[in-house]
Structure 1
């Protein structure tokens, strides 16, 4: 009862606001109706490998032409929403505006979007940053999201299973081929971590899935170390129109 009274008093002093636009909301760590409607959620029908949405529901699970022509290294990818509008703004604030508390709301949405992957996951691994990038940014947004997803699903999170050993260029503005070249040899499973990787079904967590180059490079390193399967879960993904 005392906890409830204290929470109510705190709500009067600091009313909950939208995590995107700061408008009043009924619950903390949530979105207002306008910002919620500004998120283009990714729901079925979508490609079973890449998680990219289809415009038409043909009634059966399908693979997209992109997944057939150029199969990804990872098994499956899922994301909450398309990377635009409110979703893009939230990611930008999480990464660059010192808003790590946003990970709680974003991670909760990721738990729902990745439910089928989480049922088959042995261990969660965040996509790592190189130590210099981590020093510049001060925290790893993928790690913040992974902690939330792991805690909500009672699945171990182990960031030590994958290391970023190459200080790559920023991926923004690079073509898919340039991204692949940029990430070649960027990830490695430390020798002491190999026993913990072998035979495990791993869920890689990242904030944004763009061309899939980072996800492929990280998955390749884990599979080479003996992982049984690698899936990807992101908050947002870039979707090419048409």
Structure 2
């Protein structure tokens, strides 16, 4: 009773706010109606390679988007929770660059729904790594926050330092696909003390955004070289123009 009274008092003093615009909402970690209307969640028929939405109905065969057909992925399957547009893009940028780490808690619920088809064989969950200099500057790895939250919600094994980015690469925003792949070539590898955890395992790599797939490809290659039996990927948002 006492705890309930304290929570009620706190909610009166600090009412829940929309995670995007700051407007009042009914519960913590939620969005107001206006912001929710500008979220483009992915559902229905999707690409098996990256989770991008596809027209039509699933026919029992593997379906892939034009991008995945043009550039075959080294991973087996992928899923995305939403499109990198509207309020979704705003939230991703706030999580990545705006110190809005609390967004990861809300976003993990969306990702949990999207990744259900990828959870067979109890995959080992890991994030896309940051180089230590960028981590020092940013203070956190947004992909690690998402991976940890998804692992907690799905009750799956999680290794936040399974992969290491041992070579610093330039920011990839604005780079072409070829430039992205060139910069990331041989930049990511399995952490030397974590290779035994990868051998023979299915690995699920988590990231915030997929554009060209260069970063996820580098991570997948690192896992496969370390002996992973299969690699799957899950991202919060997909850039469909890539």
Q: What is the TM-score normalised by the length of structure 2? A: 0.95
1:35 paired residue number: 35
> CA RMSD, aligned part only?
1.5
Deviation at 1:58, TM superposition (A): 5.7
Report the more deviating stretch, 213-222 or 52-61.
Answer: 52-61
1:225 paired residue number: 226
Aligned mates of 2:97, 2:74 — CA distance in 1: 29
2:167 paired residue number: 166
2:136 paired residue number: 135
Aligned residues: 241
2:119 paired residue number: 118
Q: Indicate yes or no: 2:77 matched with 1:76.
A: yes
Gaps of 5+ in 2: none
Deviation at 1:55, TM superposition (A): 3.0
Deviation at 1:190, TM superposition (A): 2.6
Residues 121 and 203 of structure 1 are in contact (CA less than 8 Å); yes or no, is this contact kept in structure 2? no
Aligned mates of 1:202, 1:146 — CA distance in 2: 12
Q: Could you report, residue by residue, the CA deviation over 1:87-146 in whole angstroms, capped at 9, with x for unpaired residues?
A: 110011111111111111011111111112134433110100000110111110011111
Q: Could you report, residue by residue, the CA deviation over 1:154-188 in whole angstroms, capped at 9, with x for unpaired residues?
A: 11211221100110011011111110001000111
| DSSP 3-state at the match of 1:150 | helix
1:193 paired residue number: 194
